Structure 1
Amino acid sequence: MTDRPTAPNVLAITFLYYKDLPRAFAFYRDVMGFPLAIDQGDLAKILEIAPNAHVGLVDEAKGMNRWQQDKCVQLCVRVEDVEAWYAYLGAKGVDNLSQMFRNEKIGIRAFVFRDPEGYQVEIQEAIRAEA
């Protein structure tokens, strides 16, 4: 049996597939403020969400998977000031902005909205110390 490599992982990237890559890229860069970390040209744009956590935006016509109408993926971003993000994204007019909600069981305060092609994005903050 071969052991798992012991070197630390370098980067985490979650890839999402889009029909209109430039529109998705503009949203995540300009509205969400995620900086471009890796530019793979017209195939993909990889943006940094937090240190070592990234979202990859892929042109579905060129990537390994295809865009699908029904989205079963949620991108969640943990922040320090969920109220400030709620006000900011409300002013930007993001699609399907929910009311703010609390989940006492898991210890978060959060809201959700949809990105330009329907992926749900959750912005949350912890409401109690992490275990």
Structure 2
Amino acid sequence: MKRPETPTQLAITFFYYRDLAAAMTFYEDVMGLTLAIDQGWCKIYEICPGAHVGLVDEAKGMNKWAAVKPVQLCIRVEDVDAWFEYATDRKLENLSELFVNDALGIRAFVFNDPEGYQIEMQSATRAGA
């Protein structure tokens, strides 16, 4: 049997939180994301067309909150330096220095959201990266 040929509509990565309200405040007020779908105990925010992050109340979701977060949300932006200046001003948790990875063709930095999920903001340093 072949895979269905219908187009994908959107992609959602789900993160699980003990304090959903604090996570919502961070993704709205700090990250500037817009609530796209409100499912009550699950809030889905648009990152860019087709890409979303879902914030889930761990008491009701399919998975549970865990102290170790072996996942990273990476967001490609046009001006990583402006984002770094903003992140520094906001004193975001576990903010790294700006770094360049020539092998990947990126300039980036990372920080943590309120419950420890790592977010990487990056810009491409060359075409096709």
State the TM-score, normalizing by the size of structure 1.
0.97
Aligned Cα RMSD in Å?
A: 0.7
Report the equivalent of 1:66.
64
Matched, 1:76 2:100: no
Deviation at 1:3, TM superposition (A): 1.0
Mapped to 1, the partners of 2:88 and 2:4 lie a distance apart of 44
Mapped to 1, the partners of 2:44 and 2:25 lie a distance apart of 12
Deviation at 1:50, TM superposition (A): 0.6
Report the equivalent of 2:18.
19
Report the equivalent of 2:27.
28
Mapped to 2, the partners of 1:50 and 1:88 lie a distance apart of 19
Matched, 1:111 2:109: yes
Q: How many residues align?
A: 129
Mapped to 2, the partners of 1:99 and 1:6 lie a distance apart of 43
Which ranges of structure 1 fall in alignment gaps of 5 or more residues?
none
State the TM-score, normalizing by the size of structure 2.
0.98
Report the equivalent of 1:85.
83
Report the secondary structure of 1:4's partner residue. Answer: coil
Mapped to 2, the partners of 1:27 and 1:51 lie a distance apart of 20
Mapped to 1, the partners of 2:104 and 2:97 lie a distance apart of 18
- Once the two structures are superposed, residues 9-30 of structure 1 have per-residue CA deviations (whole angstroms, 9 ceiling, x without a partner) of 0010000000000000110011
Deviation at 1:89, TM superposition (A): 1.3
Report the equivalent of 1:38.
37
Mapped to 2, the partners of 1:129 and 1:11 lie a distance apart of 25
Mapped to 2, the partners of 1:54 and 1:92 lie a distance apart of 23
Which ranges of structure 2 fall in alignment gaps of 5 or more residues?
none
Q: Percent identity?
A: 63
- Once the two structures are superposed, residues 6-61 of structure 1 have per-residue CA deviations (whole angstroms, 9 ceiling, x without a partner) of 110001000000000000011001100010000011x1100000100000000000
- Once the two structures are superposed, residues 75-112 of structure 1 have per-residue CA deviations (whole angstroms, 9 ceiling, x without a partner) of 00000000000011111111010000000001000000
Matched, 1:48 2:46: yes
